[in-house]
Each structure stands twice: as C-alpha cells, then as structure tokens.
A and B are shown apart, each in its own frame.
Chain A
Amino acid sequence: MAKTTYSAFLVLLAASVIMTGCSDSGMDTATENPATAQHDEAVDLDTLITDAESSLAEADNLGFAWSVTAPLLEEAHTAAKAGNEEQAIALFQEVKHQSMLAIEQAHYAEKHWQLLIPK
C-alpha cells in the first residue's frame, strides 16, 4: 500500500514538473515553431501584414532588429503571393512576435544596459 502511494506521488510530481516546464515561456517563445500558432479566430491578413511590418520597422528604428526577422518577412510575402495563406499567416505572426521581443529587448536595455559593466 505504501509502495502504491509512493508511486502515485512520483507520478503526480513528474506531471507537475512537466506542466511547470511547459508553462515557462519567456524569451524562448521566439523559437517556437510558427506552424503551431493557433488560428481559432479569423485572421485579417492585411492587418497582420501591417502589424508585422510596423513592428519590425519599430525594432529597426530602435537599433534592435534581429537579423533573422527580415528574411522571415520575405518568406512570408513569398508564401502570401503563392496563395499559401496558412503558411503566410504563421510567418507574419512570427515576424510580429520576434519584432515585439526585440522592442522589449530595447526597452530593457534602456534601463539596464549598465549591468555588464565590470565592477
């Protein structure tokens, strides 16, 4: 009986560790596969393109754009032109997501850039 209780406890512990791990996102979300993006709601492609491009432009103006984002934008436009809407949406969302993270990075740097100065 004690052994069964102990096993059940281990299963519960493992499950909670896995759940915690899955919910810990932060900056790593940038590496998530865009294809996994949820499209439950209808997405207006034109609005998404505007959002993605303006976010990237803002990150660029701040001097914090990522080198991997502009090629994704190009890929997204190519997919849109080819009529592959689902792929285009996923890619534009990823462009927007990366740009938002770059903007957040710029704001963080504004406040904390001195942290690496040797003391």
Chain B
Amino acid sequence: MKGLTCLSATLLGSLLVSAPGYADPQSDQDEIRTFFQKRFPKVELAGFADGAYAINENARSQWLEIEEFPPYEDAVDEGQEYFETPFANGKSYADCFPNGGIGIKQDYPKFDTDSGEVITIEYAINQCRTSNGEEALPYGQGELAYVSAYMASTSRDNIINVIIPDDERALAAYDAGKRMFYERKGQLNMACATCHISIAGSQLRAEITSPALGHTTHFPAFRFAWDDIGTLQKRYAGCNTQVRAKPFALQSEQYRNLEYFHTYMANGLPLNGPGSRK
C-alpha cells in the first residue's frame, strides 16, 4: 500500500512538473524533421542548410554562381579587422569568448543559467563591448553584423549544437520562442509557420518560401534586398513587418527566445554562414 502511495505520488509529481505544458524540444525537432523530409524527400538533412536553394534547382544554380564571388567577403574581412582591433582597455573580443571566439558560433544561442536568459552571439558581442567599457553597437547591420559574420565564417561546417539545459527557465524561453513561431500576427494574420512550414516550398509572389528547418545556418547573411550583411533578427523584424505586425526590438527577449527555438530545430545541421540570399 505504501509502495502504491509512493507510485501515485511520483506519477502526480511528474504530472505537476509537466503541468505548465512545456514542449519537449527533442519531439519538436523530430516532428519538424519528419515533416520536411516527407515534403522534400530528395533533400538530405544537411541539405536544408541551403534554405530555398535546396528545393528549387533554378534558384540553386543562380545561387551557386553568386557564391563563386561571394558578396559578403568584404564584410567578413572588415569584421575580422574589428574583431582583432583591441578595445581602449587593451582587451579584445577574443577575451570574452571560449576559444578566443574562433569556431564557436555553432553553440549559440546559449541559455545563461546565471542571468536566466538566452544569449545570442550578437547579444554576447555587445555584452563583451559594454563589459570592456565600449559602447554597444546597433543590432541588425553594420559593424556588429560584420563581427558576427566573421565569427560565423570561422565556424563554417561546424555542426549546430544548441543546448537546452535542465533548467525550467530555459525550457520556458524555448517554449516562448516556439509559441511565437506559431502565433498568427499582424494585419495579414500570418505566423512564421504559415510561410515556412504550411506553405514552405510554394511560390509566394516572386519568391519560393523556404523551409524553417535550416534557416539559422547561414546568418548573418548578405541579402540583395538589403544590399548588405544583416543578422537573423533583422530578418525576423522584416518578416513581422511584411505581415504588418509591429516588430519587436532586435535582441529583445522575444526575438532571442524565437532564435533559441528556431536554431534548436537546426541542431545537427552544418553552419554555412555567412550566406547570400535574395
């Protein structure tokens, strides 16, 4: 009888632990992969790192030609210069990151158990600056995006390995990001998932909607629409605006959580940023 009571208590306990309805990230990842592998059976898992260019041959051949003379090369060189230039206090970006900041982008976003928040690589770059007495840089494009692009270039071909620690706050952040991905917003009443899951691979005006799986591998990206390198969150804000939803501030908690979910879905895919995109 005592054993039965203990079993009941354990079962009740496990129900209570899962009561907030948090997602199971591994199941989410499996579901999304299964979905896309069924929809695009000819694309290998790693191939999803190429975005829309993995699913459309014409677009792919144009993109491969563009990549022969990458439009982001100057930005990467500039980013390297910024990265290697010491701050006024003599320290540099290399002092803020593991392995001197080289080949580490695959581990971002990270959940910081001290602060209880998601840290993207761009957020960490600005944290590095302010902790060394430098001004934070504007997010989205310019110097910060170039530094991030350089760091991404040193991480090419590394396998994305975003970790969700055993911490309820991390799971809550992941869950908030997931929810944001699926919520319909804006005057057009569309979610991220509308274009990048439900109708992924379809023609939307002149564009092919890319699969959500693998989106995060190639950012910061040179987009011809921007004529410059820009960050993933700049793209989030652009997507929100396109459906006439008020975008959140770049590196806001909302967008960092979204990036956490979005990148976790791409775990196991190779990083191939910076990339070029229409």
Contact = CB atoms under 8 A, between A and B. Distances in A.
Interface of A: 27, 30, 60, 63-70, 98, 105, 108-109, 113-119
A69 B185 CA distance: 13
B160 interface: no
B246 A66 contact: yes
Contacts of A68: 187, 244
B197 A118 contact: yes
A36 to B, nearest CB: 18
A67 B245 contact: yes
Q: Which of B31, B32, B182, B194 gathers most chain A CB within 10 Å?
A: B182
Interface in B164-203: 179, 182-187, 189, 191, 193-194, 197-198
A66 B244 contact: yes
B247 interface: yes
Contacts of A69: 246
Interface in B21-53: 31-32, 34-35
A67 B246 contact: yes
A5 B4 CA distance: 79
A67 B240 contact: yes
Given A70-B246, A118-B31, A118-B197, A64 B191 contact: no
| A contact patch SS | helix
B248 interface: yes
Interface string B213-252: 0000000000000000000000000001100111110000
Given A105-B184, A105-B189, A117-B31, A67 B194 contact: no
A64 B244 contact: no
B182 A67 contact: no
B254 interface: yes
B182 A64 contact: no
24 contacts: A30-B187, A63-B248, A63-B254, A65-B246, A66-B244, A66-B245, A67-B187, A67-B241, A68-B187, A69-B246, A105-B184, A105-B185, A105-B189, A108-B184, A109-B185, A113-B179, A113-B182, A113-B184, A115-B182, A116-B197, A117-B31, A118-B31, A118-B32, A118-B34
A118 B194 CA distance: 11
A16 B179 CA distance: 42
A15 B198 CA distance: 37
A67 B205 CA distance: 21
Given A116-B194, A118-B35, A66 B248 contact: no
Contacts of A63: 248, 254
Given A66-B186, A67-B244, 12 more contacts: A60-B246, A65-B246, A67-B245, A67-B247, A68-B244, A70-B246, A105-B185, A109-B185, A116-B182, A116-B191, A117-B182, A117-B193
